[in-house]
Amino acid sequence: MKITQAKINELLTEPGCEHNSQKSGEKKKVCSQQAQPGAAQGGCAFDGAMIALVPITDAAHLVHGPIACAGNSWGSRGSLSSGPMLYKMGFTTDLSENDVIFGGEKKLYKAILDIHKRYNPAAIFVYSTCVTALIGEDMDAVCQAAAKKINTPIIPINSPGFVGSKNLGNRIGGEALLEYVVGTGEPEYVTPYDINLIGEYNIAGEMWNILPLLKKLGIRVLSKITGDARYEEITYAHRAKLNVMICSKALINMARKMEERYGIPYIEESFFGIEDMNRCLRNIAAKLGDAELQARTEQLIAEENAKLDITLAPYRERLKGRKVVIYTGGVKSWSIISAAQDLGMDVVATSTKKSTEEDKAKIKKLLGKDGVTLEKGNPQEILRVIDDTKAEMLIAGGRNQYTALKARIPFLDINQERHHTYAGYSGMVEMARELDEALHSPVWEQIRKPAPWDLGNEILAESSLDWLDLPEEIFV
């Protein structure tokens, strides 16, 4: 798949994305942010493509570029596997200056054959980088020749970092799956209750909280795109009856085009929070259009909610009314609000970073008129909001933990680096436990005490003269 300016414009003006909704008197907006001097973009297109595709666990992921580009997101994202671990291995062609001058296509071809010989992967995804794109490597031709040689799918991912943001890279990864993978295989059998999960990356194993619930209802997840996925299952994703979008609009182009090509409808849902989980199961059952399935769904929801009411009762008592600021992006901006409110917490502010217009509408509805939204947050702004709202906790990504420590308030990591599962009903219990432990840790009482050097001269002077009251015997 060649990345041309027309293809980039197509992905940035994706009709299914709320950022491009036509408003009265306004031109259509594109899903891109203009870079500002000194500001981080939050990940490049190369990074975004790898985030979307690396969780395919039985495939090899080869980075065609300098070795520095191999420091990619697979090491920082907690996408877990129930089987193959090949996706955890980093492969790179390690281009040198000589390769930049004379070309690295032969080196790429040799690397593909070597990976096939040593690891025999189900497929090999080859990622271009800024360097290989700039020197004009014909990666598509090399992949095609190598695939013919070893009779293994070799998928070129033309997503050099300079073409755009991480979100654009996600969509480029989705385009590659549509062009080279989806529709190339057939499942052993199909059922009326086959669905695909799109944009679910099994962070910390969260998807494993959801699959048992769907199995109880008789719903089969035909393809997972891409958390804990196998290459083969994505080849027959076109046989599903419904696509369930989880990660906001990252792969919205894939869901929309599958609806156009294969007639598969899609819905966007969240697995965070009791109300959102209930709504998700109900919407899936309703879309599949089976009255008996809907009845089973209501029974399962009633059973799970009854158990949760008992398990969460002590946590709700301890968390009720505690003020919290949420600083994250995309679908989590509103889905985590719902989860926190289910526990009785008061969400006083959240971010709208990477959020669509639809996300922002949900945020406003959940926060109410007094809620604060942060469009572009930085540590100084977050600290100001914490101080103004008298917030008692910050829920954010790992990079913001030091902001919370500076404010002397507890912190909960909600982003992809986390090691705890917060999705589904069981994830709700885990989240409540983590929130409770963070808020009621005795360390906060200690660190909020004034430091000795802040106590004032009189107290210091008084404490320094305490030796005058000692008995005379001590000086003998």
5-18+41-180 and 312-447 have identical folds: yes
pLDDT at residue 23 above 50? no
Q: Which fold has domain 5-18+41-180?
A: Rossmann fold (3.40.50)
Measure the CA dihedral 183/184/189/195, to 10°. -40
pLDDT at residue 104 above 80? yes
Q: State how far the Cα of 454 lies from the Cα of 175, in Å rounded to an integer.
A: 59
**Long-range own/partner contacts, residues 428-432 (CB < 8 A, 24 or more apart):** 428/273, 428/274, 428/277, 428/308, 428/312, 428/339, 428/342, 429/308, 429/311, 429/312, 431/339, 431/343, 432/312, 432/315, 432/316, 432/319, 432/343
What's the order of all strands across the beta sheet hosting 393-396?
Answer: 372-374, 346-351, 323-327, 393-396, 411-413
Q: What is the mean pLDDT of residues 131-159?
A: 95
Average pLDDT, the chain: 85
pLDDT at residue 181 above 70? yes
Q: Which two tokens stand for residue 217?
A: 């209802």
pLDDT at residue 28 above 60? no
- Whether the CB-CB separation of 416 and 77 falls below 8 Å is answered with yes
Residues 247, 248, 252, 258: is their CA dihedral positive or negative? Answer: positive
Instruction: Give residue 158's identity as a one-letter amino acid code.
Output: N
Quickly state the pLDDT bin for 300 (edges 50, 70, 90): very high
Among 45, 300, 438, residue whose Cα is nearest residue 430: 438
- The continuous run of DSSP H or E covering 197 comes out as strand 194-200
Please give the residue that has the higher pLDDT: either 102 or 470: 102
Please give the residue that has the higher pLDDT: either 463 or 229: 229
Alpha-carbon 77 to chain mean position: 8
Q: Which two tokens stand for residue 261?
A: 């090509």
Architecture of domain 194-303: 3-Layer(aba) Sandwich (3.40)
HSE at residue 397, side-chain half, CA atoms within 13 A, is 17
Q: What is the mean pLDDT of residues 29-45?
A: 54
Quickly state the pLDDT bin for 36 (edges 50, 70, 90): very low
Domain 312-447 in CATH 1.25.40.10: no
What's the order of all strands across the beta sheet hosting 266-268?
Answer: 220-226, 194-200, 242-245, 266-268
pLDDT in tens, 106-117: 999 999 999 999
Q: For the chain, what's the residue count? A: 476
- Whether the CB-CB separation of 188 and 41 falls below 8 Å is answered with no
Q: Which residues contact 409 (CB under 8 A, 6 or more apart)?
A: 386, 391, 392, 393, 394, 444
pLDDT in tens, 450-463: 877 777 655 555 55
The full set of domain ranges for the chain reads 5-18+41-180, 194-303, 312-447
pLDDT at residue 121 above 90? yes
Helices 274-288, 207-217: axis angle to 10 degrees equals 40
Residue 327: what pLDDT?
86
Q: Which residues contact 255 (CB under 8 A, 6 or more apart)?
A: 16, 198, 243, 245, 266
DSSP one-letter string for 204-266: TTTHHHHHHHHHHHT-EEEEEEETTB-HHHHHTGGG-SEEEE-STTTTHHHHHHHHHHH---E
Quickly state the pLDDT bin for 24 (edges 50, 70, 90): very low
Quickly state the pLDDT bin for 367 (edges 50, 70, 90): confident
- Whether the CB-CB separation of 425 and 304 falls below 8 Å is answered with yes
What's the order of all strands across the beta sheet hosting 124-128?
Answer: 91-92, 60-64, 124-128, 154-157
Range with lowest mean pLDDT among 104-108, 294-298, 385-389: 385-389
Q: Which two tokens stand for residue 21?
A: 């909704």
The model carries a pTM of: 0.85
Instruction: Give residue 237's identity as a one-letter amino acid code.
Output: A
Q: Which residues contact 214 (CB under 8 A, 6 or more apart)?
A: 195, 220, 221, 284
pLDDT at residue 12 above 90? no
Residue 355: what pLDDT?
62
Residue 8: what pLDDT?
73
Q: Which of helix, strand or coil describes residue 329?
A: strand
Measure the CA dihedral 144/145/149/155, to 10°. -30
Residue spans of alpha helices (H) in 23-156: 45-53, 97-102, 105-119, 130-134, 139-150
pLDDT in tens, 254-294: 999 999 999 999 999 989 889 989 999 999 999 999 999 99
